[in-house]
Structure 1
Amino acid sequence: MKTTLIATLQSGDYVGFTFFIGSMAMLAATVFFFLEMRNVEGKWRTSLLVSGLITFIAAVHYFYMRDFWIENGTSPTEFRYIDWILTVPLMCVEFYLILKAFGAKTGLLWKMIAYSTWMLVTGYLGETVFRDSSALWGAISSVGYFAIVYEVWLGSAKQLSKNSNDPVLQKAFNTLAWFILVGWAIYPIGYMAIETDGILSGVLAIESMDIIYNIGDAINKIGFGLVIYSLAVSKTTATASA
């Protein structure tokens, strides 16, 4: 008879605890975003749909990562990158969607997706295939991260938000930009900390980085969606009052 394995959380397993919390938080956020789609006007429903897809994809992977951790006691690197390679480009899509009404072209969309894909693919290669030269691959991966930071702080995306003359949009855009600058910074920092030849090697234990990744993922992905939700509600209310 086949035995069904159920993930069991041991006392003092703080990494496992954050995996459980992360999976349920992402699932709850998904339900919220999907249900709230009916309460915003048409063009903002797509943005909330993308937000819901981001947290849904993350929730599914966190259930897998949670079980992997419980069973093996090691960091689920492959599952993390599968999650990120799907959700991070979608988070870049959010910038395009909120700026589309103010002249954003599809070129900006594909540029942001290309930067994020570069960042993640090269980061994965450094953590798995080319571990002996992981620091070099980490530097290559960081090029994609800093390119995204440039776009949202100084590049064409920033210029579109400044030219919109819409304080609600500008506030939402600036909040998302801070998520990328500060929230996303935990990933390159974590990369440098967990690799044997990383600049921050030995500063933090791998288990500590899993906790930081789990909390950071929840804050970044759910927080991203909540900013979009707040913007969608504000614009829908303004349209209804006009």
Structure 2
Amino acid sequence: MKTFTMTFSAIAQMATDDYVGFTFFVGSMAMMAASAFFFLSMNDFDRKWKTSILVSGLITFIAAVHYFYMRGYWEDYSESPTFFRYVDWVLTVPLMCVEFYLILRVAGAKRSLMWRLIFLSVVMLVTGYIGETIYRDQAQIWGLISGIAYFVIVYDIWLGSAKKLATSAGGHVLKAHKTLCWFVLVGWAIYPLGYMAGTPGFYSGWFDGLSMDVIYNIGDAINKIGFGLVVYNLAIMSTENKKTV
């Protein structure tokens, strides 16, 4: 009861122009609602899709829990909760990469694809964290390394082995794969903007007045919930097709 009292007290004290706190609150609520939706819908699909839906629910659930912590940190210190955010990402982003493997298993995807994407995502995140928190004076260098890992992921899913598997699978799998690819290409591109807004470099001044936390929060909600909804739609369509055959 004390925890809920403190939470509602913090909400009441939120300034009307506190867009960071607002996006933390909305983000946590949206991702918790998405988690409940994914978990409760797991019995609506063929067994082969349940793991994919479970992972979608885990992604948004982990994010929701971290967002509760990050919002509390923001309320207490008025500082960006960078450490908690990267802990969230190092758990959820690899799981988003796992989703590619799970939907491509029908086309014979091997675990090597999954581990390669996970490794690249971890490199992307670790180097981004180093540049954003530890060696801020070298943020451009670490950001470049992080960006290279990101573009290797983009190449692999758009033109590499993942694309070939999706093409061989065809149908709803190919459509879902392409949509997830667009999330990675466009949706994940939001994060470099947040990185540049919060670190020094030749780009300093480009984002004056724009909080990196607002950028990150919007990006998280769009990408994590969106990923799950794409997988959910694939599971629904595949299950319905099986029933009509």
* TM-score relative to the length of structure 2: 0.94
Q: Which residue of 1 aligns with 2:224?
A: 221
Shift of 1:206: 6.9
Alignment check: 8 A CA contact 2:70 2:84 kept: yes
Q: Which residue of 1 aligns with 2:69?
A: 64
| Secondary structure at the counterpart of residue 15 of structure 2 | coil
Distance in 2 between residues matched to 1:184 and 1:162, nearest whole Å: 23
Q: 2:52 aligns with which of 18, 28, 47?
A: 47
Amino acid of the residue matched to residue 117 of structure 2?
M
| Secondary structure at the counterpart of residue 211 of structure 2 | helix
Distance in 1 between residues matched to 2:194 and 2:28, nearest whole Å: 20
Shift of 1:161: 0.7
Q: Which residue of 2 aligns with 1:192?
A: 196
Identity of counterpart residues, as a percentage?
A: 61
Q: 2:120 aligns with which of 115, 138, 151?
A: 115
Distance in 2 between residues matched to 1:211 and 1:236, nearest whole Å: 38
Distance in 1 between residues matched to 2:217 and 2:119, nearest whole Å: 25
1:126-152 superposed Cα distances (whole Å, 9 cap, x missing partner): 111111211111111111101110011
Distance in 2 between residues matched to 1:138 and 1:173, nearest whole Å: 27
Amino acid of the residue matched to residue 151 of structure 2?
F
Amino acid of the residue matched to residue 199 of structure 2?
E
Shift of 1:209: 2.1
What does residue range 155-170 of structure 1 map to in structure 2 within 5 Å? Answer: 155-164=160-169, 166-170=170-174
Q: Which residue of 2 aligns with 1:124?
A: 129
Q: Which residue of 2 aligns with 1:234?
A: 237
Q: 1:173 aligns with which of 177, 188, 201?
A: 177
Q: 1:26 aligns with which of 25, 28, 31?
A: 31
Shift of 1:10: 1.9
C-alpha RMSD over aligned residues: 1.5
- Alignment size in residue pairs: 239
What does residue range 85-96 of structure 1 map to in structure 2 within 5 Å? Answer: 85-96=90-101
Q: Any unmatched runs of 5+ in structure 2? A: none
Shift of 1:208: 2.4
Q: Which residue of 2 aligns with 1:134?
A: 139
Distance in 1 between residues matched to 2:209 and 2:66, nearest whole Å: 19
Shift of 1:225: 0.1
Distance in 2 between residues matched to 1:5 and 1:27, nearest whole Å: 19
Q: Which residue of 2 aligns with 1:201?
A: 204
Distance in 2 between residues matched to 1:22 and 1:189, nearest whole Å: 19
Distance in 2 between residues matched to 1:203 and 1:210, nearest whole Å: 16
Q: Any unmatched runs of 5+ in structure 1? A: none
1:77-130 superposed Cα distances (whole Å, 9 cap, x missing partner): 001100000000000000000001101111100000000000001111111111
Distance in 2 between residues matched to 1:97 and 1:105, nearest whole Å: 10
1:26-66 superposed Cα distances (whole Å, 9 cap, x missing partner): 00000000000010110100000000000000000000011
Distance in 2 between residues matched to 1:94 and 1:136, nearest whole Å: 30
Distance in 2 between residues matched to 1:188 and 1:134, nearest whole Å: 12
Distance in 2 between residues matched to 1:155 and 1:193, nearest whole Å: 32
Distance in 1 between residues matched to 2:107 and 2:184, nearest whole Å: 21
